[in-house]
């Protein structure tokens, strides 16, 4: 599930292959409206689909001339990003 809090999206619950397409669509409008930050602290379950989702959101933001940062990344996501060699591609917002 995704909820918007100002210029930030908060992702909660599982993010797996079973629901990643829905989450991709749910974020499309907020990203187009200028959301620039995604909080992942409420993600309860994940697989590599979350990594693919974040990269897709970054591409969408970049295509609109913007940037996107992530906060409260789950430890497992960091492990996956390192495994796939893309950890440096995930800009993190250390202020949250």
76-96 pLDDT, tens digit per residue, is 998 899 999 988 888 877 554
Domain 2-89 has CATH 3.40.50.2300: no
Q: How far apart are CA 39 and CA 29, in angstroms?
A: 17
24-55 pLDDT, tens digit per residue, is 999 999 999 989 999 999 999 999 999 999 99
Instruction: Cite the beta strand spans of the chain per DSSP E.
Output: 2-5, 8-15, 37-46, 69-71
The model's pTM? 0.88
Q: Which residue has the tokens 């492990």?
A: 79
Q: How far apart are CA 58 and CA 63, in angstroms?
A: 8
Q: Which residues contact 34 (CB under 8 A, 6 or more apart)?
A: 7, 66
């Amino acid at each position: 599930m995704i909820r918007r809090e100002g210029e930030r999206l908060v992702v909660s619950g599982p993010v797996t292959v079973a629901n990643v397409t829905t989450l991709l669509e749910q974020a499309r409008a907020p990203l187009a409206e200028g959301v620039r930050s995604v909080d992942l602290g409420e993600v309860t379950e994940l697989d590599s689909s979350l990594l693919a989702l974040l990269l897709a959101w970054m591409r969408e933001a970049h295509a609109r001339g913007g940037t996107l940062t992530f906060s409260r990344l789950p430890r497992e996501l960091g492990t996956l990003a390192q495994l796939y060699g893309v950890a440096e591609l995930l800009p993190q917002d250390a202020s949250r």
